């Protein structure tokens, strides 16, 4: 006799996430935890959770715990307010599927639609959805109830309880489409996992002589599974646990089908299977797992590779049919080379991840079995905070995968202390990591690692060491990390110092990139270090000879030099004689001829010859002349004036001139004319 387990059985995603959240809060010391209503519709699991410190209450007033877990069914908006008013902290574990229904119902209610909900008006999920419509939604269970509503001319939105039957939903849609509605918005909100579970149960029920449905007697989704199985005409039994099984049910039965509701934990499913095996063993029943030894979900078994296909590996695990390993379950490496991992004839360990696929084969996983073997060691490393060396084997969305004997995930934000622009650059390299999150549950295996936390620890230690020894006047090596318009930030080994643009050289620096670039390794002089404010000021020019030292010797008075015009002012032009040393050519020293504007005679960048007139090294001033290097033009003699008529006139300082004036007198006259 065979025992066949439906492919989709037991915990759904939402329930598993809620259970895991509650257990994690207890582990983190945030217990005891209260739940408003049972976290799961399974009395055995509720009892187990209570032993852990997670207690269910039907009334907020009865809750004395500080922290409250909101179950997967969700609650109305008013309940969140009440929880806060009672002074509790809450952790929202509303199933994402349920939350989506709430959002759809809320939006359509706000937009003037009459929201209709197919479901049980007394179910907590439905009650919460009604609350999100400001209590305007109408709930109906049967089509007759829907037909009694007056809806013509209205805008109508139809949603469903996530565990409803698709046939009932389709009937409601067909009826509404026949009405004269102003508008009809249909949202099939039946959970896909629920549909798959129900479809699998119906398919399996048609193949067996007896169906066993495991789940709480008050669980809506379990009761629907019972109803679906009975609708096929097969004998169906509903049990909460193994103790509810009766040996008389199995007399004369050849095939037994098994399914479980979304609130049924794996350990109860296993107990029921074990009990069924005991009851059927005496009747000589053949186990339906295809092995000589009974196998359960997530068991690890040794098998022999018998065939390798392009998309799967066939493994003989000792049963009536071979198990299959999908390529993606062979290794956690991206696009693995199958021949490098297994060969025909190899004995390998595999984990059972699905009792039967559509072709009747047990679905196996080598990578999960490998992970399981590494779990104990990894858990110990996680608990001890040990450092792990691992190779990055592939990049995925949001991070990379590392080989730690299991599949480890490193989020991009944990690869470095700085933003990572190219994740692919990490692939193929080996780094040191620390495990920061560890969940050994086979169904929800999660190992998250971080390189950043180690780098932060190293940087913190380096910062402390640097602050302990740094002092003014030191010369240190550093790397340019970042450049701003006012300077550059230099990493000195965990601490950044500022190299201001004014300290990059003795000459005028237009922009920092004229001197340094990101990534440059440079030596810098410590001007000051303030540990309390976390500020360090650095200098490059302190390590360069001051070009003004011994300026009188470098640029002696009377010497002629070449220079370049670097700046023009109304009073003259500055000429660069050397890096950091500019001299001034006053406007009066540009030409022997009168110059109205400096830019009329000189331009920036022009090379000129200059003569040093004066040097003041202390005041960093050098006076230059261009005109002194040019010949002074001769002064033209003025034409002799006409002989004046004899008449009385005031005396003048200008001597009378006649043709016999001496050269000296002419020069004297010319000077007087020029000065006047």
Q: Look at residues 146, 13, 3, 4 and name the one whose alpha carbon lies nearest to residue 443.
A: 13
C-alpha dist (Å) from residue 98 to 80, 94, 515: 16, 7, 60
DSSP lists the bridge partners of residue 391 as 403, 430
Q: Look at residues 307, 405, 315 and name the one whose alpha carbon lies nearest to residue 363.
A: 315
The reply to whether omega before 424 is within 30° of 0 (cis) is no
C-alpha dist (Å) from residue 639 to 270, 360, 642, 658, 666: 131, 128, 9, 11, 11
C-alpha dist (Å) from residue 539 to 226, 501, 525, 674: 80, 9, 5, 55
What does the DSSP 8-state code read for residue 29? T
C-alpha dist (Å) from residue 55 to 38, 230, 343, 351, 433: 8, 35, 52, 34, 38
DSSP lists the bridge partners of residue 138 as 116
Told to judge if 125 belongs to the known catalytic residues of this protein, a careful annotator would answer yes
What does the DSSP 8-state code read for residue 162? T
What does the DSSP 8-state code read for residue 422? -
Compute the residue count for the chain. 676
Rounded (to 5) percent helix, strand, coil in the chain? 30, 30, 40
Tell me which of 23, 65, 125, 164 is the catalytic residue.
125
Classify the C-alpha dihedral 473-475-477-483 as positive or negative.
positive
Helix axes 192-205, 220-231, angle to 10 degrees: 30
Contact 413, 454 (CB under 8 A): no
Q: What is the DSSP string of 178-190?
A: TS--SEEEE---S
Residues catalogued as catalytic: 125
């Amino acid at each position: 006799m065979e025992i066949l387990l439906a492919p989709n059985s037991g915990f759904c995603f939402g329930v598993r996430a809620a259970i895991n959240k509650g257990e994690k809060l207890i582990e983190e010391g945030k217990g005891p935890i209260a739940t408003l209503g049972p976290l799961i519709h399974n009395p055995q699991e509720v009892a187990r959770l209570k032993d852990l410190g997670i207690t269910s209450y039907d009334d907020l007033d009865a809750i004395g715990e500080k922290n409250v877990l909101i179950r997967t069914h969700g609650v109305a908006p008013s309940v969140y307010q009440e929880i806060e008013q009672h002074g509790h902290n809450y952790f929202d574990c509303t199933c994402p599927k349920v939350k989506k229904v709430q959002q759809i119902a809320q939006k359509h209610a706000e937009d003037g639609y009459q929201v209709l909900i197919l479901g049980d008006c007394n179910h907590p999920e439905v009650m919460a959805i009604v609350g999100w419509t400001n209590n305007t939604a109408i709930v109906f269970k049967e089509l007759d109830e829907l037909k009694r509503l007056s809806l013509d001319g209205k805008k109508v939105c139809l949603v469903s309880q996530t565990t409803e039957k698709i046939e009932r939903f389709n009937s409601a849609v067909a009826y509404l489409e026949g009405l004269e509605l102003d508008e009809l918005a249909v949202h099939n909100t039946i959970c896909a996992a629920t549909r798959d579970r129900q479809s699998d149960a119906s398919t399996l029920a048609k193949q067996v002589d007896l169906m066993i449905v495991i789940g709480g007697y008050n669980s809506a989704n379990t009761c629907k599974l019972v109803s679906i199985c009975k609708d096929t005409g097969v004998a169906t039994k509903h049990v909460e646990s193994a103790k509810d099984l009766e040996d008389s049910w199995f007399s004369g039965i050849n095939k037994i089908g098994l399914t479980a509701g979304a609130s049924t934990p794996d350990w109860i499913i296993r107990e029921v299977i074990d009990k069924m095996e005991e009851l059927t063993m005496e009747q000589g029943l053949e186990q339906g797992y295809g092995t000589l030894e009974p196998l359960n979900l997530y068991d690890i078994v040794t098998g022999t590779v018998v065939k390798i296909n392009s998309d799967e590996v066939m493994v003989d695990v000792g049963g009536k049919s071979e198990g299959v390993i999908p390529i993606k379950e062979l290794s956690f490496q991206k696009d693995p080379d199958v021949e490098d991992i297994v060969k025909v004839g190899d004995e390998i360990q595999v984990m059972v991840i699905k009792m039967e696929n559509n072709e009747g084969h047990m679905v196996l996983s080598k990578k999960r079995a490998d992970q399981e073997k590494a779990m104990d060691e990894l858990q110990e490393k996680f608990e001890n905070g040990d450092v792990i060396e691992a190779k990055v084997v592939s990049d995925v969305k949001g991070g990379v995968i590392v080989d730690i004997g299991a599949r480890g995930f490193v989020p991009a934000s944990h690869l470095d202390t700085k933003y990572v622009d190219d994740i692919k650059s990490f692939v193929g390299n080996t780094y040191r990591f620390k495990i920061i999150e560890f969940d050994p549950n086979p169904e929800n295996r999660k190992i998250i690692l971080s390189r950043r936390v180690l780098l932060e620890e190293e940087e913190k230690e380096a910062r402390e060491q640097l602050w302990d020894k740094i002092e003014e006047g030191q010369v240190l090596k550093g790397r340019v990390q970042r450049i701003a318009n006012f300077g550059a930030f230099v990493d000195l080994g965990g601490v950044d110092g500022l190299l201001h643009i004014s300290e990059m050289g003795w000459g005028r620096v237009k922009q920092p990139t004229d001197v340094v670039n990101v990534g440059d390794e440079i030596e810098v002089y410590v001007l000051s270090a303030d540990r309390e404010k976390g500020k360090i000021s650095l200098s490059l020019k302190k390590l360069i000879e001051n070009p003004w030292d011994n300026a009188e010797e470098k640029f002696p008075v009377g010497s002629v030099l070449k220079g370049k015009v670097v700046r023009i002012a109304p009073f003259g032009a500055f000429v660069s004689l050397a890096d950091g040393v500019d001299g001034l050519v006053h406007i009066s020293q540009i030409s022997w001829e009168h110059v109205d504007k400096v830019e009329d005679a000189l331009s920036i960048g022009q090379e000129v010859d200059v003569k040093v007139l004066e040097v003041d090294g202390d005041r960093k001033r050098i006076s230059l002349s261009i005109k002194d290097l040019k010949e002074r033009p001769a002064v033209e003699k003025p034409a002799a004036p006409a002989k004046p008529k004899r008449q009385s006139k005031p005396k003048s300082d200008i001597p009378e001139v006649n043709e016999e004036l001496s050269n000296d007198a002419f020069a004297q006259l010319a000077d007087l004319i020029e000065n006047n």
